[in-house]
Structure 1
Amino acid sequence: MTTNFPPFIDAHHHLWDLQAVRYPWLMARGVRRFFGDPTPIQKNYLTEDFLSECPGIRPTHSVHIQVGAENGLAETRWLSQLPQRPAALVAHCDLDAVNAMDDVVAQSQLGGVRGIRQIIGRHSAEDAANGSGKLLDSPRWCSNLGALAEMRLSFDLQMVPDQMPALLVVLSRLPELNVALCHAGSPWEQTGSGWERWKAGIKELARLPNIYCKVSGLGMFNPNWTIDSLRPIVRHVINSFGTERVMFGSNFPVDKLYRSYGELWETYRLLIENESGETRHQIFYSNAARFYQIKD
């Protein structure tokens, strides 16, 4: 492992305090999730836990992404009061709720909030149970997406490849909204027709200049990943979005289920080691800083 790791922004990680905020999925013991068995991470994960993952490889800044709290405002309030707060916070709001924008305003007034995430796709089985995919058909949800742009807030988008055509229609109408595609668009199938659908969808979404792509959470789709299995995903993302709209995130502690923090970031480094120094800095640092309005 390199001892001279470049400055980087972890553009996607989570923290939680089970005594301060209620997280139903973290309190549901024995329930298997789409990413595997959550038992090892069903405990507090605080700033000091995150920063101690790999002393030799620490982010210069980080972006906290909402993580299924029962009350998004409570989660954001807790995060905003941390002594060592992440540089940017992406909060949760149900944009299809009648009072959605009141909730967004309340959260945006807390320190560090740069955007909103509402998951519309995780896995076909879970999505069928919770109905999240129906948001794409809601005029109110689409209208409130546009309102985020007016507030200079971005949107973190977690979805599945089958939703890409419908998302292309929705997002093409919102050119002022900056969107971060979480987890490289969830490449669940990495062979055959499913792989081809993901590649085609990524290429189409990348045509919209306001969409960025985060390489993160790939262990959820292939727990036994190797650098060789990640390479075609990362190369297709970079080739589609260009080096100025790609960023890296750890998805810790969820992806801690599969690999250590140091091994993950060293793999990212190796995957782009042949790029120019300027390109490496873009992907590791400046793209995330620009998107999430992070200042040194």
Structure 2
Amino acid sequence: MSGNYLSVRPDWLALGEEEALEPTLPIIDAHHHFYDRPGWTYLDADYLADAGTGHAIEATVYMQALTRYRDTGSEHLKPVGETEYVVSATNARTGGRQLAQGIVGYADLRRGAAVQAVLEAHEVAGQGRFRGIRHLVTWDADSSLSNPLTAAPRGLLADPAYRAGLAALAVRGLSYDAWLLWPQLPELIDVADAFPDLPIIVNHCGGVVRIGAYAGRDDEIFQSWQGHMRALAKRPNVFVKLGGLGMRINGFGFEKAALPPTSRQLADAWRPWMASCIDAFGPMRCMFESNFPVDKGSYSFTNGWNAFKRLTQGFSDSERRSLFHDTARRVYRLG
């Protein structure tokens, strides 16, 4: 397991498991994975076990995770195996939940216009559910923040070949999921300006990093991050996912306590970051995500969604519908 990911400890999580609040509130989980890696397996049955703990998860968006690639054939087409696997594993509505109603896959966008063949193969494999691409661009001078499986070269968003790949997404009416670290947000602003017709979905509150070279600088980091996110929000083709703050790089340290965090503790810790996103983008451009199983190292599925519900208790019904359900449905074009 990469050092970016915290170990999942079921016995520890069980010490603080809550009952689901507002169990009838409809939810689309805008971001989860299946993992099939050495030492870590989390597939459809595992997600259903988490999603079946009380919240009304009606549908989900599956996010690429290097899972079940093809092991034969052309190298650039091997990631299509992930889309094939996800469709096969989730074709039936299970327990009333439409798993992976939207699928975001991987393609090497540095192939430029040639990536069209890969996108077409994903669309065929997706059987009407394929929605876009995530090609990670996370980079920092502090190499301790890098995930060895997904490390990207510096400045990838400005690479002409990569941008030609982004143009191919726009031509096909697909979206682009952006996972990067907050100091890279100005690079994404430039991309949003260059491709105004490309829907861009920023993952995990814009890449909050508060460890390594960024440790002990919370106020400075928050102000800089907030300024970048406010600037990004001025681009109407950009949306943001609220979640993904249970990773090592976020620096909240939930995993260090004797007991797992309660939903109130999570809500209090996340409020400045998520409230800033909602203030900047508005509820119609924000959507909640579980980021499971990655965030499961810090808190349970139930407590995480309870925290989102606590965070939005002062919002109107229509605003909550957008945040929990309608934004994801609209942006990912879910039926």
| TM-score under structure 2 length normalisation | 0.77
Question: What are structure 1's unaligned runs of at least 5 residues?
Answer: 19-25, 28-41
Q: Aligned pair count?
A: 273
1:194 aligns with: 221
The answer as to 2:279 corresponding to 1:239 is: yes
Find the counterpart in structure 1 of residue 95 from structure 2: none
- Structure 1, residues 56-112: CA drift from partner, whole Å, max 9, x if none? 114100000001346421111111222345101000011002642211121122221
Evaluate the alpha carbon distance shift between residue 182 and residue 143 of structure 1 in structure 2; reply closer, same or farther with a 3 A threshold.
Answer: same
After superposition, give the CA deviation of every residue in 1:207-260 in whole Å (9 maximum; x if it has no partner).
000100001211111242632110001110000001110000000011111100
Aligned to 2:66: 68
1:6 partner letter: L
Q: Give the distance between the partners of 2:29 and 2:305, measured in 1 at CA.
A: 9
Partner of 2:26: helix, strand, or coil?
Answer: coil
Contact 1:65 1:89 in 2 (8 A): yes
- For the 8 Å contact 1:62–1:87, the answer to whether it is kept is yes
Does structure 1 residue 7 correspond to structure 2 residue 22? no
Q: How far, CA to CA, are the matches of 1:203 and 1:230 in structure 2?
A: 17
One-letter amino acid of the structure 2 residue matched with residue 4 of structure 1: P
Where does residue 138 of structure 2 map in the other structure? 121
Taking a change above 3 Å as real, the CA distance of residues 92 and 49 of structure 1, as seen in their structure-2 partners, is same
- Fraction of identical pairs, as percent: 28
What is the rounded CA distance, in whole Å, between the counterparts of 1:7 and 1:223 in structure 2? Answer: 30
2:184 is paired with a residue of what secondary structure?
A: helix
The answer for the alignment partner of 2:202 in structure 1 is 181
How many Å separate the matches in 2 of 1:97 and 1:288?
A: 28
Query: Aligned to 1:139, which of 139, 156, 160?
Result: 160
**Partner of 1:250: helix, strand, or coil?**
coil
What's the offset of the Cα at 1:167?
Answer: 1.8
Aligned-partner Cα distance in 2 for 1:7–1:128? 34
Q: Is the 8 A contact 2:139 2:154 kept in 1?
A: no
Distance 1:247 1:128, change over 3 A: closer
**Pairing 1:169–2:183 present:** no
Q: Which residue of 2 aligns with 1:269?
A: 309
- What amino acid is aligned across from residue 134 of structure 2 in structure 1? R
Contact 2:287 2:328 in 1 (8 A): yes
Deviation at 1:122, TM superposition (A): 6.1
Q: Which residue number corresponds to residue 100 of structure 1?
A: 115
C-alpha root-mean-square deviation of aligned residues, in Å?
Answer: 1.9
Gaps of 5+ in 2: 1-18, 70-77, 93-98, 211-216, 255-264
Is the CA contact 2:139–2:146 (under 8 Å) kept in the aligned structure 1? yes
Correspondence 1:187-266 to 2 at 5 A: 187-189=208-210, 191-220=218-247, 221=250, 222-224=252-254, 226-266=266-306
Q: Quote the Cα distance in structure 1 between the aligned partners of 2:179 and 2:147.
A: 15
* Residues 69-88 of structure 1: pairs in structure 2 closer than 5 A: 69=67, 71-82=78-89, 83-84=91-92, 85-88=99-102
Is the Cα–Cα contact under 8 Å of residues 139 and 180 in structure 2 kept in the other structure?
yes
Comparing 143-152 with 179-188, which one deviates more in the overlay?
143-152
Specify which of 282, 286, 290 is matched with residue 330 of structure 2.
290
CA distance in 1, matches of 2:177, 2:62: 11
How has the CA–CA distance of structure 1 residues 223 and 89 changed in structure 2, closer, same or farther, with 3 Å as cutoff?
farther
Cα displacement (A) at 1:128: 9.5
- Who is 1:90 aligned against? 104
State the SS of the aligned residue for 1:293. Answer: coil
Cα deviations by residue, 1:120-176 (Å, 9 ceiling, x for unpaired) = 016642559744333123111112212211211000000111111122112201010
**Contact 1:213–1:245 at 8 Å: present in 2 too?**
yes
The residue that corresponds to 1:43 in the other structure is 40
Structure 1 residues 132, 101: CA separation in 2 closer, same or farther (over 3 Å shift)?
Answer: farther
- 1:64 and 1:239 map into 2 onto residues whose CA distance is 26
Q: Aligned partners of 1:131 and 1:59: how far apart in 2? A: 33
For the 8 Å contact 1:119–1:132, the answer to whether it is kept is no
Q: TM-score, normalised by structure 1?
A: 0.86
